[in-house]
């Protein structure tokens, strides 16, 4: 529109010059034709540049929309390029500053997680014995009741096996079911009795030891793929280790699963942790997320600035996907 206005001013000046000139360079008719021709050219150019400017404007807005979606997905290191010093350029600057601020907050969260881990280590020696005693009492109370029931049912089955073999068979089936439940409960509690820290092991080494121990003591088929993601901080490794430990404990106690899959890998500046099982599942929307220790897992993830997602459906298993922003290899945050 500005070029059209400028062209109109130019032609008005040209006409005045021709009319005032004592020796006109061209005839009046020719000047009108020339004016109309140039006006048409400028009109076409104005339309072209207007459409082109509209597409550029829309493209810049699309870039901002994509940038916001990228930030929402947890990729806080992304930035959007600034092209012009206009209002959209100012919004672009503010969005980049916001991304810087969010990234700094994530780093602060991870530093706080490290500091929290150090404080937890200082209190560990005093707290670990109390925790072990508590779990031992829980193990004794839960399993002892089941063992008492096993003894009563077994004795009754022995007494009537000659007189009523069908009733004795039903009792023995109950014995087998109670024994299986007691075994799963005991394994889950013993899993919690493991040391909280990694005791000098890397995250990968600690997880391999944990899975090997669980395979030796349970029927679970665990498929694990742990990628070397570099030197994570101690706080991050401790949180990730406890998340996997809590997930396996939940699976042992509640899922009745046969196969578990654990994958941990790094894509650019995001650490992905995926845990799934083929157990009985549950309705995520029907149950509060405080059930089965899921709230603890979510809180540990959020303390690292991560995103916690869970999908589950009855008789179709449970799927947990965790994404945590990390820096380049050897650097967290």
> Cβ atoms within 10 A of the Cβ of 281, count?
20
> Cβ atoms within 10 A of the Cβ of 323, count?
19
Instruction: Please provide residue 182's backbone torsions phi and psi, each rounded to the nearest 5 degrees.
Output: -65, -40
Instruction: Tell me the two tokens of residue 330.
Output: 């050897």
How far apart, in Å, do the first and last CA atoms of the chain sit? 49
Q: In 3D, which of 308, 304, 329 has the Cα closest to residue 232? A: 329
What are the tens digits of pLDDT across the range 89-99?
A: 788 788 888 88
What are the tens digits of pLDDT across the range 70-106?
A: 877 777 777 877 766 777 778 878 888 888 888 888 8
How far is CA 269 from each of CA 76, 115, 327, 329, 330, rounded to the nearest angstrom?
9, 22, 5, 9, 11
Read off the pLDDT band of 259 (50, 70, 90): very high
Instruction: Tell me the two tokens of residue 241.
Output: 């280790």
Instruction: Please provide residue 137's backbone torsions phi and psi, each rounded to the nearest 5 degrees.
Output: -65, -40
**Which single residue is written with the structure tokens 């009046």?**
28
Adjacent-strand bridge partners of 224: 262
The pTM of this model reads: 0.55
Which one has a higher pLDDT value, 297 or 331? 297
3-state secondary structure of 147: helix
Alpha-carbon distance 60 to 64, whole Å?
6
Q: How many CA atoms lie within 13 A of 196 on its CB side?
A: 17
**Contact partners, residue 151, CB within 8 Å, separation at least 6:** none
- Dihedral angle sign, alpha carbons of residues 280, 322, 329, 231: negative
How far is CA 30 from each of CA 37, 39, 64, rounded to the nearest angstrom?
10, 14, 51
What are the tens digits of pLDDT across the range 9-30?
A: 555 555 555 554 544 455 666 7
Rg (CA), the chain: 35
Instruction: Tell me the two tokens of residue 183.
Output: 């075994």
The rounded mean pLDDT for the chain is: 76
**Which single residue is written with the structure tokens 């959209």?**
88
């Amino acid at each position: 529109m500005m070029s059209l206005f400028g062209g109109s001013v130019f032609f008005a000046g040209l006409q005045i010059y021709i009319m005032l000139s004592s020796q006109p360079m061209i005839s009046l008719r020719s000047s009108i034709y020339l004016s109309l021709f140039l006006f048409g050219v400028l009109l076409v150019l104005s339309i072209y540049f207007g459409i082109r400017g509209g597409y550029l404007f829309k493209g810049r807005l699309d870039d901002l929309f994509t940038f916001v979606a990228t930030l929402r997905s947890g990729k806080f290191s992304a930035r959007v390029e600034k092209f012009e010093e206009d209002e959209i350029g100012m919004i672009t600057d503010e969005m980049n500053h916001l991304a810087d601020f969010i990234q700094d907050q994530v780093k602060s969260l991870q530093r706080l997680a490290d500091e929290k881990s150090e404080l937890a280590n200082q209190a560990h020696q005093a707290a670990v014995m109390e925790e072990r005693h508590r779990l031992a009492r829980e193990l004794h109370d839960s399993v002892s009741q089941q063992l008492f029931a096993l003894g009563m049912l077994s004795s009754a089955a022995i007494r009537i096996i000659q007189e009523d073999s069908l009733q004795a068979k039903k009792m023995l089936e109950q014995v087998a079911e109670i024994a299986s439940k007691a075994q799963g409960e005991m394994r889950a509690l013993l899993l919690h009795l493991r040391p909280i820290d990694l005791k000098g092991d890397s995250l990968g080494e600690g997880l391999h030891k944990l899975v090997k121990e669980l395979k030796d003591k349970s029927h679970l088929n665990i498929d694990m793929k742990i990628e070397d993601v570099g030197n994570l901080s101690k706080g991050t490794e401790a949180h990730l280790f406890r998340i996997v430990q809590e997930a396996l404990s939940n699976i042992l106690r509640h899922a009745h699963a046969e196969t578990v899959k654990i994958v941990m890998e790094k894509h650019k500046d995001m650490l992905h942790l995926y845990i799934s099982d083929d157990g009985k599942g549950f309705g995520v929307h029907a149950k509060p997320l405080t059930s089965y220790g899921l709230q603890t897992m979510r809180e540990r993830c959020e303390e690292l600035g991560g995103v916690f997602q869970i999908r589950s459906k009855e008789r179709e298993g449970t799927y947990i996907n965790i994404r945590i922003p990390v820096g380049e290899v050897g650097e967290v945050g």
